[in-house]
Structure 1
Amino acid sequence: MILYHGSNVIVQEPQILENGFYKDFGYGFYCTIIEKQAKRWALTKRRRHTVNFYEYSPDKSLNI
């Protein structure tokens, strides 16, 4: 599965952060399976616009 992330920076390897900044959902790294949606997210960023993409294989051992 390919996931897309719209941003103003290139993110080679997203990190999972467990402690620290607290908002409604804590640290957020939002992805979508819809490339067009990620492009719209990227356009909301100032100056630079980029769409990162990642290959994801579901892992049943994860607790979600």
Structure 2
Amino acid sequence: MSKYTQFAKENWWRIIIAIIFLTIVIASIYFKWKTVAVAVVWILLGGNFFYLVYKNYQRRSSRE
């Protein structure tokens, strides 16, 4: 169990990306591609936000 929690702590951003990618794939099956294109744009904007938060988190944890 601790091995999995350690993996999740180190790779949580990769897990988020994988979930987002799966969401895009599922959305592309259920909806039209135009809707997916809009969603991808929003996810890219959101992804940049998550990346900035991640960088900020890294900086804070390295200070301790």
Please indicate the TM-score interval, normalised by the length of the shorter structure. Answer: under 0.3
Structure with greater Cα Rg: 2
Q: Pick the structure with more helix per residue.
A: 2
Higher-RCO chain (CA-CA 8 Å, sequence separation at least 6): 1
What's the TM-score, normalizing by structure 2? 0.25
Q: Pick the structure with more strand per residue.
A: 1
What's the TM-score, normalizing by structure 1? 0.25
